[in-house]
Amino acid sequence: MKLLCLHGVGSSGSICESQFEPFVKAADPSYEFVFVNGPAASIRGPGMGGEYDGPFYSHTTGYTTKEMAEALDHLEAVVEEMGPFDGVVGFSQGAATAISYIYDQQTRHGRMPFGFALLFSSVCAFSPNSKYSKDVIERLAARGYDLEQSGVADASSLTPEERILWETILKVIKPLRDGQALLPDIDLNVYTHREHVDNAPRLLLPQLMGEKIKIPTFHMHGKRDAQFMRDMSLIARDMFDESLMRKAEHSGSHHPPNKDAEVRSAVRALEWAIGQSRKLGLLP
């Protein structure tokens, strides 16, 4: 069993390996966990304390459709060079990048690059497809809302699609930016000015997706993580087929599980995901 492991923003493969050490040690010793660096040099990411040495990396230089296409092209090259991989393990931005890649492969090619996914504390995912939700973004931008002045109450006149995008920007993306945890940063004015719509990141939201992602998944986040971070994990979770899903919380904040009982729970979920993937014929 070979698993690709993707780190968070402003981190590295070696840092991610140290964060997942309890999980790897508790898993079947025959399993191979492959930790890789993202392609983009980065500043130290949120939560990367002094105990972690650089260099630091991210999986993307930004979240426009062009930048996301470059990020997914790199990930595909990693899969082709170092794979095949039976499954993927992602943390934070690494989990979101895995989601973007899986959904892009499913919708463009009708195939699954992994048999299952374990997603820890995922942040929001973005699409490389410039046509995805463009009409919704254009309609929202035409209303001329001010991100710093307009609130959720202003969304009452919006269509359901416009409302979910606007509320997600206000409740999740803006707090992430204001907390200086959005790396690389996004100019949120691209959602409020019509002339900048082409540069607006295509935020993947369950309500705007044409189909759910159909592979077995396990989703886990920390109970003590910031509310907007937990909200992002829930948004990511809802992109997947619930009948093929297990979910859990651990007692910490924005990090993989490290307490024995919580680690064992994640390992049991890994074994469940492998079994489900075999039943579906995604793994031999």
Active site residue 225: yes
- Average pLDDT estimate for 185-195: 82
Task: Let me know: does 170 contact 147? Beta carbons within 8 Å.
Answer: yes
**What pLDDT, on the 0 to 100 scale, is given for residue 151?**
67
User: pLDDT tens digit string along 126-180?
Assistant: 999 999 999 999 998 888 887 777 666 667 788 999 999 998 998 888 888 777 6
**Given 42, 58, 92, 122, which residue is catalytic?**
92
**Given 225, 231, 265, 277, which residue is catalytic?**
225
Task: Let me know: does 244 contact 115? Beta carbons within 8 Å.
Answer: no
Q: Which two tokens stand for residue 67?
A: 């930048």
Q: Flag whether pLDDT at 53 surpasses 80.
A: yes
User: pLDDT tens digit string along 5-19?
Assistant: 999 999 999 999 999
Active site residue 133: no
Q: Flag whether pLDDT at 264 surpasses 90.
A: yes
Taking CA atoms, 7 is separated from 23, 83, 98, 119, in Å, by: 14, 17, 10, 11
The mean predicted confidence, pLDDT, of the chain is 92
Which structural domains are found in the chain, ordered by start?
2-128+205-279 (3.40.50.1820), 134-203 (no CATH)
- Average pLDDT estimate for 238-244: 96
Q: What is the share, in percent, of the chain residues with pLDDT greater than 70? A: 98
Q: Flag whether pLDDT at 184 surpasses 90.
A: no
User: pLDDT tens digit string along 90-118?
Assistant: 999 999 999 999 999 999 988 999 999 99
Span of 40-44, 189-193, 206-210 with lowest mean pLDDT: 189-193
- Average pLDDT estimate for 211-226: 96
Question: For residue 85, which of 32, 6, 39 has the smallest C-alpha distance?
Answer: 32
**Given 7, 219, 250, 254, which residue is catalytic?**
254
Distance from C-alpha of 97 to C-alpha of 93, rounded to nearest angstrom: 6
